């Protein structure tokens, strides 16, 4: 059997075959999970059909185990028994040797002989590495210590050095009582020699320790079995980010970036064994803009909210929003390799691959792009100017408040200017010279549901030479449902358009006689179309009574008032 490094994304024979068999109904979800865990732990036991394939390096089966937990309930007895064995600690008669780390935080378990055999000196060095990681993530960065494992094999956190076709894995064990019923404890396994990983030896052990110990920390905030399929990527995104925070010079995460920058239209939350690691650069972007504590704040929020609500809550406190950062992410991702700007964008961006656009075009004449995108997908197009002059990019979206558009113009060594619009507002590109480059990204900001199921929505981009105006008003476009029946409707949606970008847009609800009963600061909103949610409650958090209410959006200037009827 052949093992390929994670950097060779084209060689995803094994995972691709599983995906294919799953979509054809040849195997079910539970079998797919079993096959992936088998590939990590006992590849020799795989069915012959799969053994013949080049089995990919599954970097970390932690999220596969998270998915397995969700399927426990619907598995039959035999399946459940087979899945359950991946959640048990390794056999201590095999992993019989132990070393307690110098600072006493960890106990390393390893085998003296057999297929899991570990060099005792390597195990000793790993023990010291785990202490170093603990001191950085807990003492320097300030994360809360992972919950105790209730003295299993002593008070230390347990790390098992095991021959696996992965870097490492963190397994969720027991619910910690009294922590909102979401915190868990667990244990860590990691490879016994790191000869098959792109980064080898002690450096691989270092990034793995930083990554897996951060998974243990995460479980203390929110166990991975309590999130849905579309939130699980964040565990990998943040653990991969953490590798580079603790060990800046190792850069194992570079190996995931080839795939990330080749498939730039993949959804932000895509979980395919590669993308969720590459997307760690989203957190490197946020770290550079707001400091490293922003990631910790997100984990704190995750104790009480779902993922996207947590991201939104934290970014709103910074005067930003998840949508805005998603739009800026598309701009940062253009500035890598030869286009890198380490002052304004990624500090290590010179080492990142160049983004592959979804398509490339020449700017000369009027043209139209018809395309489509699913939830949280970004479509990036590259244009090269053949006839100098001004150009207008006119987007057409059916639901304008679900879309953002960014445009970056670059000429020669000039990094150019960036523009973020939302909805059907035209982007005007002034004064392009011969061979100037323009990058336009179209971002679908609709949030996904609980299950990965992209629904493509069509859109068009018209490129028109010259400066074309778009007429847009300061106006509340639509309030729905109207009338609003609190017994039936969870909330009210307010759709509006604004002609200018504003740092602090607000929403007010007034009674029919003009008394303000509710107000919310919404933060930064771009010129264009937006949609806000109101839960039908007043300042005190009580449901309001029946009657006519006035809705007001305040941007650079107050928008004309719109009415809503509430019927209880
Ligand atoms: Ca223990
Ligand atoms: Ca680095
Ligand atoms: Zn992981």
Closest CA to 149 of 170, 119, 123: 170
The band of 2, judged by pLDDT with boundaries at 50, 70 and 90, is: very low
Protein residues near ligand 1, an ion, with CB under 5 A: 149, 152-153, 158
C-alpha distances out from residue 334 to 369, 438, 507, Å: 20, 10, 34
Residue range 193-220: average pLDDT?
Answer: 96
DSSP string, 116-179: TB--HHHHHHHHHHHHHHHIIIIIIT-PPPPPP-TTTTSSSEEEEEE--SSSEEEEEEEEPTTS
Q: What is the number of the ligand closest to the CA of 211?
A: 3
CA 59 / ligand 3 centre spacing (Å): 7
Q: Can you give the three-state secondary structure of 317-366, one letter per residue?
A: HCCCCHHHHHHHHHHHCCCCHHHCCCCCCCCCHHHCCCCCCCEEEEECCC
Question: What phi and psi, each to the nearest 5 degrees, are found at residue 542?
Answer: -90, 150
pLDDT band at 124 (very low <50, low <70, confident <90, very high): very high
Q: Is the peptide bond before 431 cis (omega within 30 degrees of 0)?
A: no
197: nearest Cα among 243, 235, 159: 243
Q: From the CA of 173, which ligand is nearest?
A: 1
Q: How far is the CA of 236 from the centre of ligand 1 (A)?
A: 24
Helical segments of 171-269, H only: 201-221, 233-246, 257-262
pLDDT above 50: residue 306: yes
> Which ligand has its closest atom nearest to the C-alpha of 109?
1
CA of 73 to the centre of ligand 3 (A): 24
Which ligand lies nearest to the CA atom of residue 208 in the structure? 3
Q: Give the residue among 371, 460, 377, 478 at the shortest CA–CA distance from 424.
A: 460
Q: Give the closest ligand to the alpha carbon of residue 214.
A: 3
Q: How far apart are the CA of 125 and the centre of ligand 1, in A? A: 19
Percent of the chain predicted with pLDDT > 90: 65
Measured in Å, residue 64 CA sits from the centre of ligand 3 at: 10
Higher pLDDT, 163 or 425: 163
The yes-or-no verdict on residue 181 having pLDDT over 90 is no
* pLDDT reported for residue 469: 66
Task: Please state the rounded mean pLDDT for residues 397-405.
Answer: 91
Q: Which ligand is nearest to the CA of 106?
A: 1
Please confirm whether the linkage preceding 481 is cis (ω < 30° from 0): yes
pLDDT at res. 5? 41
Average pLDDT, the chain: 90
- pLDDT computed for residue 417 by the predictor: 66
Structure tokens at 372: 């489509």
pLDDT tens across 27-74, in order? 998 999 999 898 889 888 888 888 888 777 788 888 888 888 888 888
- pLDDT grade, residue 428 (50/70/90)? confident
Quick one: which ligand is closest to 287's CA? 2
Q: Which residues pair with 563 in a beta bridge?
A: 550
Give the lowest-confidence range in 112-116, 156-160, 467-471, 544-548: 467-471
Q: List pLDDT tens digits, range 263-292.
A: 989 999 998 888 999 999 999 999 999 999
pLDDT the model gives residue 180: 72
Give the separation between CA 498 and CA 368, rounded to whole angstroms.
26
- Cα gap 521→201, rounded to integer Å: 51
Q: What is the pLDDT of residue 75?
A: 87
Least confident span in 71-75, 196-200, 510-514: 71-75
pLDDT at position 9 over 80? no
From residue 500, give the alpha-carbon distance in Å to each of 42, 396, 472, 523, 525: 59, 19, 10, 14, 9
Q: Which residues of 279-309 are buried (b: 16+ CB within 10 A; e: fewer)?
A: bbbbbbbbbeebebebbbbbbbbbeeebbbe
Q: What whole-number distance in Å separates Cα of residue 495 and Cα of residue 403?
A: 13
Q: Show the domains of the chain with their CATH numbers.
A: 3-339 (1.10.390.10), 357-465 (2.60.120.380), 475-566 (2.60.40.4070)
Are 331 and 408 within 8 A, CB to CB? yes
* Distance between Cα 119 and ligand 1 center (Å): 22
The Å distance, Cα 159 to ligand 1 centre, comes to 9
* CA 211 to ligand 3 center in whole angstroms: 6
Give me the pLDDT at residue 43, please: 86
In this prediction, residue 1 carries a pLDDT of: 35
Q: Which ligand is nearest to the CA of 347?
A: 2
Q: How far is the CA of 152 from the centre of ligand 1 (A)?
A: 4
pLDDT value of residue 549: 95
pLDDT tens, residue by residue, 539-566: 999 989 999 999 999 998 899 999 999 9
How far, in Å, is the centroid of ligand 2 from the Cα of 345?
A: 14
Name the closest ligand to CA 158: 1
Q: Which of 210-219, 307-316, 413-422 has the lowest mean pLDDT?
A: 413-422
Distance CA 446, CA 1 (A): 42
Pick the closest to residue 375 from 459, 278, 443, 450 (CA basis): 443
pTM over 0.75: yes
Query: How much is the average pLDDT of 82-107?
Result: 95
- Measured in Å, residue 351 CA sits from the centre of ligand 2 at 10
Which residues of 445-525 form beta strands (DSSP E)?
A: 457-465, 475-480, 492-498, 502-511, 516-525
- Among all bound ligands, the one having the nearest atom to the CA of 203 is 2
Q: How many CB atoms lie within 10 A of CB 514?
A: 8
Decide if 399 contacts 457 (C-beta within 8 A): yes
Confidence at residue 470, expressed as pLDDT on a 0 to 100 scale: 63
Whole-number percent of the chain with pLDDT over 70: 96
**Are the beta carbons of 491 and 386 closer than 8 angstroms?**
no
**Are the beta carbons of 331 and 418 closer than 8 angstroms?**
yes
What mean pLDDT comes out for the span 485-501? 87
- Alpha carbon distance 49, 119 (integer Å): 34
Composition of the chain by helix, strand, coil, percent to 5: 30, 30, 40
Of all ligands present, the nearest one to the C-alpha of 248 is 2
Of the bound ligands, which one is closest to the alpha carbon of residue 240?
3
Q: How far is CA 207 from CA 137, 171, 223, 251, 517, in A?
A: 13, 18, 22, 9, 52
Flag whether pLDDT at 325 surpasses 70: yes
Task: Judge whether 174 and 131 are in contact, CB under 8 Å.
Answer: no
């Amino acid at each position: 059997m052949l093992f390929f490094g994670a950097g060779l994304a084209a060689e995803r024979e094994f995972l691709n075959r599983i995906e294919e068999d799953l979509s054809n109904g040849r195997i079910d979800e539970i079998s797919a999970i079993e096959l992936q865990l088998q590939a990590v732990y006992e590849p020799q036991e795989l069915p012959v059909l799969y053994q013949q394939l080049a089995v990919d390096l599954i970097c970390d089966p932690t999220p596969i185990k998270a998915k397995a937990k969700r399927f426990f309930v619907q598995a039959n007895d035999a399946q459940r028994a087979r899945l359950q064995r991946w959640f048990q600690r390794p056999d201590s008669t095999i992993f019989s040797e132990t070393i307690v780390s110098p600072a006493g935080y960890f106990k390393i378990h390893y085998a003296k002989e057999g297929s899991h055999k570990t060099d005792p000196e390597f195990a000793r060095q790993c023990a010291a590495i785990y202490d170093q990681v603990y001191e950085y993530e807990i003492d320097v960065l300030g994360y809360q210590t992972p919950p105790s494992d209730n003295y299993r094999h002593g008070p230390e956190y347990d790390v098992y050095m095991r021959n696996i076709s992965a870097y490492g894995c963190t397994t969720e064990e027991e619910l910690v009582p009294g922590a909102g019923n979401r915190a868990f404890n667990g244990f860590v396994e990691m490879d016994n020699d790191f000869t098959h990983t792109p980064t080898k030896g002690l450096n691989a052990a270092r990034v793995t320790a930083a990554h897996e110990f951060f998974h243990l920390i995460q479980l203390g905030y929110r166990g991975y079995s309590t999130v849905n399929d579309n939130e699980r990527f964040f565990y990998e995104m943040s653990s991969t980010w953490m590798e580079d925070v603790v060990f800046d010079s190792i850069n194992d995460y570079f190996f995931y970036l080839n795939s990330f920058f080749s498939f730039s239209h993949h959804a932000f939350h895509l979980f395919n064994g590669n993308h969720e690691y590459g997307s760690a650069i989203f957190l490197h972007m946020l770290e550079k803009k707001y400091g490293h504590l922003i990631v910790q704040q997100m984990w704190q929020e995750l104790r009480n909210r779902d993922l996207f609500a947590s991201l939104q809550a934290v970014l709103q406190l910074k005067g930003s929003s998840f949508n805005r950062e998603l739009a800026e992410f598309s701009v940062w991702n253009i500035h890598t390799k030869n286009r890198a700007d380490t002052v304004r964008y990624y500090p290590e961006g010179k080492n990142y691959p160049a983004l592959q656009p979804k398509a490339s075009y020449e700017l000369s004449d009027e043209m139209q792009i018809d395309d489509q995108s699913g939830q949280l997908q970004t479509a990036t197009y590259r244009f090269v100017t053949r006839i100098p002059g001004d150009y207008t990019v006119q987007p057409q979206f059916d639901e304008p408040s679900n879309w953002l558009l960014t445009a970056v113009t670059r000429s020669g060594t000039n990094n150019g200017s960036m523009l973020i619009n939302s909805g059907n507002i035209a982007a005007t590109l002034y004064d392009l010279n011969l061979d100037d480059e323009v990058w336009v990204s179209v971002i679908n900001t609709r949030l996904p549901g609980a299950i990965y199921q992209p629904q493509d929505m069509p859109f068009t981009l018209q490129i028109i030479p010259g400066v074309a105006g778009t007429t847009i008003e300061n106006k509340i476009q639509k309030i729905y449902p109207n009338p609003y029946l609190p017994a039936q409707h969870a909330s009210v949606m307010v759709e509006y358009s604004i002609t200018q970008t504003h740092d602090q847009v607000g929403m007010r609800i007034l009674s029919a006689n003009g008394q303000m009963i509710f107000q919310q600061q919404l933060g930064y909103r771009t010129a264009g179309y937006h949609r806000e949610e109101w839960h039908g409650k007043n300042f005190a958090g009580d449901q309001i009574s029946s009657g006519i209410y006035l809705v007001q959006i305040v941007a650079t200037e107050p928008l004309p008032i719109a009415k809503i009827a509430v019927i209880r």
